[in-house]
Chains A and B, each alone.
Chain A
Amino acid sequence: MNFELKMALRFIGSGRSQTVFIIVGIAIGVAVQIFLGSLITSLQDSLVNETIGNSSHITIRSEEDYITQALDEDPSNATFFRGNLTNGSENLDNWAPLVDEIKNDPSVTAVSPTLQGTALIRSGGMDKSVQIKGIFFEQADSIYDISPRMVDGNPTVEGNTILMGKSLSEDLGVQSGDSVNLLLPNSGTVRLIVGGTFDLQNESVNGSLLFMDLRRTQKLFNTGDAVSSIETQVTDPFAVDIIADDWRARLGNVKIDEWKQLNAQLLSALSSQSSSSYTIQFFVILSITLGIASVLAVSVIQKSKEIGILKAMGTTKKSASRIFVLQGLILGFLGSMAGVLAGILLLSAFNSAEGLSFSISYRWSNLLLLAGIATGAGAIASVIPARRSANLNPMEAIKNG
């Protein structure tokens, strides 16, 4: 074994209580960092997942604003008022090539062309305003996760068979298999069969949404082949701005909205949460560093005689300082490892507690990063003690008996 490493290990081993105290100190610091870091990350993940987990990350719409168009057009010919189709954009007519183009992007996990519209549902003498989403079921399913969240019935849409939000079905008093009447603006009544009900864990969605086959929806709203938007999900929701910019450049005349724009407030809350977490972590590292530094400073004084004798026997300044840098590294490393262990125990204790709305997960890369930083802090902490060791005068040390 390397001479300096051997010295460092023996020095650490000889001051046993000092060593134990500082390692426990580092371990507590690292465990707190791990717990806090994982808590914040998991909390944010769960918030973000709640916000965008089952919705479109990037939505492509027509660039043209249809209200402006409506004013330009002859009002007598304003057919697009029928069914109040969209929230302000013109429909996308030539959407199929767009879908093909997007599907080729490796970061995309789901693409679903959607035609959205509103109508009234009449059942048992009651009228309710509903949102209709015309979809290809499989494609929409991969965004909205409808199948696993069916309350009853079959997870599919076909022809006049639709899926209905759970609260809406309760309000209307219908069950799967029942039929309801859909009242379209200016186009009379269509009879639909409720193929099943779903619970998307969002009250406003459950209370107003219908899923319908896209082709059928297009026919009902008389939009030809057009859709109102293409909804997509990507692998890394936080990279949507980059992906969206890329699409803007590639796809041309379309309007592209990413979820980040629409949730700016949430994101700024998350980022200030993150920065306060980083601040705490910084100060934890700072106190770890100071702790190691003070232990090593005391150790240099305790070991001054030994360092003196080592120097008399030919140990160089560099070597004498390296002994203490290694001690710093070793203390940092042992403390970090104990801290990682304690942190994981803390997390599993937290996760096994009852009544939690989410569980904290941790990433090994993160744990190793924190351990690495604390180990590095050990090396930084050792700088001053190491320098003192390097400059220690062997004659002084030996003379003092």
Chain B
Amino acid sequence: MDKVLLRGEGLTREYGTTIITTALDQVSITLNNSEFSSVIGQSGCGKSTLLNMLGALDKPTRGTLIFKDRNLSEMNDGELAAFRNKNIGFIFQFHHLLPEFTALENVLLPTWIETRTADKKKEARAKELLELVGLADRMNNMAPNLSGGQQQRVSIARALINNPNLVLADEPTGNLDSDSTDQVYELLRNINKELDMSFLIVTHDRHIAEKSDRVIEMSDGRIINDYKTSEKLPEELWECLAPNNCKLLHPEA
């Protein structure tokens, strides 16, 4: 049995006051340690909202979220910020490096936020991580002087610097060409295995979803499918991952 890392129950997120839009509707989800999961679904189905909520960027309108033993729904803004800093690594589609800083400095940002000052040990760790993502020779380049794939690899290193338990990635390869996509995916998968971190990746890419441990499919703010890839035959899985196919295969879901 996998050890539970995070458990959300009845997570609901509503926007607006007069006209209420429900982005997440009573979602219950459990993430386990060392798990590599993909979240798929059409645009606007609540994937990013779920990701932001699990990453403590957003608070649920209703429902509870327990990370290890801590109830995130009861924390204030400051506690949530500190929580994110230590436990969650974010990787975004649009790299979001700070252009005023070098690759190395960007990787170090979360440590600066944590301790408010620079730290030699952390700097060594950042260099290691940049080596891990294959950018040892680019660490002193300013962020805008790196290619898209390189920037995304820097942001992966940045997500890992504080040794988070959970790395959340919102379409990390959505903005990259297919070569870079493969590289980034391989990198994420390796880190998952080597550093024993959980990954939750929002993706439109069938190839990535196919190679995950687990696939979570969403539609209209709900989880309509949640399975381990190892439980399905390759052909079946490929069919499932084709857009809209899952609904046809499992009309009762």
Whether both chains belong to one complex is answered with yes
Residues of A within 8 A of B (CB): 1-4, 6, 10-11, 13-14, 305-306, 308-319, 394-395, 398-399, 401
A-B contact pairs, 16 of them (CB 8 A): A1-B117, A3-B112, A3-B117, A6-B112, A10-B98, A305-B96, A309-B98, A311-B57, A314-B82, A314-B114, A315-B113, A316-B78, A318-B78, A319-B113, A395-B57, A399-B48
B118 at the interface (CB under 8 A from A): yes
**Is A398 in contact with B81, judged by CB distance below 8 angstroms?**
no
Question: Given A2-B117, A313-B109, A314-B81, A401–B93 Cβ distance below 8 Å?
Answer: yes
**Is A313 in contact with B110, judged by CB distance below 8 angstroms?**
yes
Rounded to whole angstroms, the CA-CA distance of A3 and B114 in the bound complex is: 9
**Is B101 in contact with A10, judged by CB distance below 8 angstroms?**
yes
Rounded to whole angstroms, the CA-CA distance of A398 and B90 in the bound complex is: 11
**Is B113 in contact with A314, judged by CB distance below 8 angstroms?**
yes
Contact residue range for chain B?
A: 20 to 34
Of A305, A308, A310, A316, the contact of B109 (CB 8 Å cutoff): A310
Given A1-B118, A314-B81, A314-B85, 4 further pairs, Cβ under 8 A: A312-B57, A313-B90, A316-B81, A395-B57
Of B85, B92, B100, B117, the contact of A309 (CB 8 Å cutoff): B92
| Chain B residue with the shortest CB-CB distance to A6 | B112
**Is B114 in contact with A395, judged by CB distance below 8 angstroms?**
no
Rounded to whole angstroms, the CA-CA distance of A315 and B114 in the bound complex is: 8
B118 to chain A, nearest CB (A): 7
**Is A317 in contact with B113, judged by CB distance below 8 angstroms?**
no
| Chain A residue with the shortest CB-CB distance to B96 | A309
Of A13, A313, A395, the contact of B113 (CB 8 Å cutoff): A313
B44 to chain A, nearest CB (A): 12
B210 at the interface (CB under 8 A from A): no
**Is B81 in contact with A395, judged by CB distance below 8 angstroms?**
no
| Chain A residue with the shortest CB-CB distance to B116 | A3
| Chain A residue with the shortest CB-CB distance to B93 | A401
Chain A residue numbers with a CB within 8 Å of B114 are 314
**Is B57 in contact with A394, judged by CB distance below 8 angstroms?**
yes
Which 9 pairs show the lowest CB-CB distances between chains A and B? A314-B85, A10-B100, A3-B112, A309-B96, A316-B81, A314-B84, A14-B100, A313-B110, A401-B94
Q: Using a CB-CB cutoff of 8 Å, which residues 150-170 of chain B contact chain A?
A: 158
B32 to chain A, nearest CB (A): 23
B192 at the interface (CB under 8 A from A): no
Rounded to whole angstroms, the CA-CA distance of A306 and B112 in the bound complex is: 15
**Is A313 in contact with B85, judged by CB distance below 8 angstroms?**
yes
| Chain B residue with the shortest CB-CB distance to A314 | B85
Rounded to whole angstroms, the CA-CA distance of A318 and B82 in the bound complex is: 12
Residues of B within 8 A of A (CB): 48, 52, 55, 57-58, 77-78, 81-86, 90, 92-94, 96, 98-101, 109-110, 112-114, 116-118, 158
**Is B57 in contact with A306, judged by CB distance below 8 angstroms?**
no
Of B48, B94, B98, B110, the contact of A314 (CB 8 Å cutoff): B110
A398 to chain B, nearest CB (A): 6
A326 to chain B, nearest CB (A): 13
Rounded to whole angstroms, the CA-CA distance of A279 and B96 in the bound complex is: 47
Of B48, B100, B116, the contact of A13 (CB 8 Å cutoff): B100
Rounded to whole angstroms, the CA-CA distance of A317 and B82 in the bound complex is: 11
**Is A312 in contact with B98, judged by CB distance below 8 angstroms?**
no
Chain A residue numbers with a CB within 8 Å of B58 are 395
**Is A313 in contact with B84, judged by CB distance below 8 angstroms?**
yes
**Is A3 in contact with B55, judged by CB distance below 8 angstroms?**
no
Chain B residue numbers with a CB within 8 Å of A309 are 90, 92, 96, 98
| Chain A residue with the shortest CB-CB distance to B79 | A316
Rounded to whole angstroms, the CA-CA distance of A1 and B105 in the bound complex is: 13
A295 to chain B, nearest CB (A): 16
Chain A residue numbers with a CB within 8 Å of B117 are 1-3
Chain A residue numbers with a CB within 8 Å of B94 are 398, 401
Chain B residue numbers with a CB within 8 Å of A319 are 113
Chain A residue numbers with a CB within 8 Å of B93 are 401
Name which of B55, B94, B101, B112 has the most chain A CB atoms within 10 A of its CB.
Answer: B112
B94 to chain A, nearest CB (A): 5
Chain B residue numbers with a CB within 8 Å of A308 are 96
Rounded to whole angstroms, the CA-CA distance of A311 and B57 in the bound complex is: 9
**Is A314 in contact with B116, judged by CB distance below 8 angstroms?**
no
Question: Given A305-B96, A401-B93, A312–B84 Cβ distance below 8 Å?
Answer: yes
Chain A residue numbers with a CB within 8 Å of B101 are 10
**Is B112 in contact with A311, judged by CB distance below 8 angstroms?**
no
**Is B113 in contact with A310, judged by CB distance below 8 angstroms?**
yes
